[in-house]
Amino acid sequence: MGDFVQLLIIGLLGGGIYAAVGVGFGLVWGVLNIVNLAHGALVIIGAYLTWQTFTAWGLDPFLTLPIDAVALFVLGYAVQRGVINRIIRAPLLFTFLLTFGLNLIAVNVLLLVFKSDFRSVTTSYSGAGLELGGIVLPYIRLAALGIALLMAAALAALLSRSRIGLAIQAMAADRDAAQLVGIDLRHAYAVTYGLGAACAGVAGGLIAMIQAITPTAGEPYTLQAFVVVILGGLGRVSATVVGGLAFGLIEAFGQSIPGSGSVFANAIAFGVMVLVLVTRQQGLMGRLR
């Protein structure tokens, strides 16, 4: 029973990272209809910002998360407004190829600046955890889960209660009608992509505290974000959170199978994604579109 509870906790804590990564990806996909292949690169840029501010200024990595969010929002806004917006109404393949190209550019710039060496953020509380009756709760992963949930709640509140959030939702429902009522689509597009990039930056900062990073480490997170959004369902922030937690649980219990590894666990998670697509196309909590 103790092993089961420990696996459950590991899965939920790992799912918090996946939820943080998937929230921004799902927002861009659901609103702009862009499968953003540069999302993993944005995550790693956030991770390197946390590492740089921690090593250069000695700033606690959790305090770097707002810096990551602001910097990535500005970067995402500029990239969308200056590049992606030019083909926003093009077929999906065009945006697919463009974001893939942006991913290659970002990764190679990171390689040029930081080389391919592994970097890590090690603090006095790294590796520490809270022990409760033989159950261990790592402090950083526990905080990461809390931050992911707070970030998702803040994003949901922004979309439902702010003027720009309502404009984004109107644009997602009907772009032409939104433009007819006076919504500046170019600005709304850029804000949406910027918010997605900001969420990716925060997720990257959390990842830098948990594992070593390299410029190419973001590619798996793009695929995992895709699976998370599919599992939870496209169109709702809460659904993405559920998808992230589900992915974390599937991965944790998959790795517990004797003789299995992370590859086998990922295969199980992707198999579950296919099963969800076959039986419930809108995901676990998504809406039919």
Query: Which stretch of 62-66, 152-156, 164-168, 229-233 has the lowest confidence by average pLDDT?
Result: 229-233
Q: Are 70 and 50 in contact (CB under 8 A)?
A: no
DSSP assignment, residue 129? E
Residue 289 lies in a domain: no
Name the 3-class secondary structure at 127: coil
**pLDDT higher for 289 or 238?**
238
Residue 199 lies in a domain: yes
Report pTM: 0.92
Residue 289 scores a pLDDT above 70? no
Name the residue range of residue 30's domain: 2-112+138-279
Residues near 201 by Cβ (< 8 Å), separated by ≥ 6?
A: 42, 43, 45, 46, 49, 68, 69, 71, 72, 73
- Taken as a whole, the chain contains a residue count of 289
Please report the pLDDT score of residue 134 as a whole number: 75
Distance CA 100, CA 97 (A): 5
pLDDT band at 7 (very low <50, low <70, confident <90, very high): confident
Please report the pLDDT score of residue 37 as a whole number: 94
Average of per-residue pLDDT across 127-151: 89
Residue 12 scores a pLDDT above 70? yes
Residue 286 lies in a domain: no
Residue 125 lies in a domain: no
Residue 267 scores a pLDDT above 80? no
Distance CA 241, CA 156 (A): 11
Residue 253 lies in a domain: yes
The torsion angles phi and psi of 34, rounded to 5 degrees, stand at: -120, 120
Please report the pLDDT score of residue 287 as a whole number: 61
Whole-angstrom CA distances from 25 to 138, 199, 204, 235 are 26, 9, 13, 11
Residue 108 scores a pLDDT above 70? yes
Please report the pLDDT score of residue 186 as a whole number: 92
CATH of the domain at 269: 1.10.3470
Residue 105 lies in a domain: yes
Interstrand relation of 129-132 and 135-138 (parallel, antiparallel or unpaired): antiparallel
Q: Across all residues in the chain, what is the average pLDDT?
A: 89
Residue 98 scores a pLDDT above 90? yes
Q: Are 267 and 259 in contact (CB under 8 A)?
A: no
Please report the pLDDT score of residue 253 as a whole number: 82
| pLDDT, tens digit (0-9, with 9 covering 90-100), for 116-126 | 999 999 998 88
Average of per-residue pLDDT across 223-233: 90
Give the closest residue to 220 by CA, choosing from 260, 253, 251: 251
Name the 3-class secondary structure at 35: coil
Please report the pLDDT score of residue 210 as a whole number: 93
Angle between helices 2-32 and 163-173 (to 10 degrees): 80
Residue 124 lies in a domain: no
Residue 127 lies in a domain: no
How many separate domains does the chain show? 1
Classify the C-alpha dihedral 211-141-195-193 as positive or negative: positive
pLDDT band at 127 (very low <50, low <70, confident <90, very high): confident
Average of per-residue pLDDT across 139-157: 95
Residue 138 scores a pLDDT above 60? yes
